[in-house]
Amino acid sequence: MKTAFIKTPLGTAKIEGDLHGITSISVIDRETEMKSNISPELEEAVRQIEEYFLGKRKEFTFKLNPTGTEFQKKVWDELLKIPFGKTISYLDLSKKLGDPKAIRAVAAANGKNPIWIVIPCHRVVGSKGEMVGYAGGIHRKKWLLNHERTEKQQSLFP
117-135 confidence digits (pLDDT tens): 999 999 999 887 778 877 7
Lowest-confidence segment of 61-70, 87-96, 137-146 by average pLDDT: 137-146
Q: What is the pLDDT of residue 155?
A: 47
H helices present in 15-83, as ranges: 40-53, 70-79
User: Do 30 and 97 share a domain, yes or no?
Assistant: no
Q: What is the pLDDT of residue 128?
A: 79
* Nearest Cα to Cα of residue 52 among 101, 122, 114, 100: 122
* Nearest Cα to Cα of residue 76 among 22, 8, 13, 138: 22
As a whole number of angstroms, the distance between CA 143 and CA 145 comes to 6
Instruction: Quickly list DSSP for 67-115.
Output: ---HHHHHHHHHHTTSPTT--EEHHHHHHHTT-GGGHHHHHHHHHT--B
User: Do 133 and 96 share a domain, yes or no?
Assistant: yes
Do residues 115 and 25 make contact, with C-beta atoms less than 8 angstroms apart? yes
Mean pLDDT throughout 142-151? Answer: 87
User: Do 74 and 48 share a domain, yes or no?
Assistant: no
Q: What is the pLDDT of residue 135?
A: 76
Q: How confident is the model at residue 157 (pLDDT cuts 50, 70, 90)?
A: very low
121 is catalytic: yes
User: Do 135 and 80 share a domain, yes or no?
Assistant: yes
Domain extent for 137: 70-148
As a whole number of angstroms, the distance between CA 158 and CA 156 comes to 7
Q: What is the pTM of this model?
A: 0.88
- Last residue of one domain, picked from the residues 26, 53, 80: 53
10-55 confidence digits (pLDDT tens) = 999 999 999 999 999 999 877 766 667 899 999 999 999 999 999 9
Residue from 75, 93, 121, 144 carrying the catalytic annotation: 121
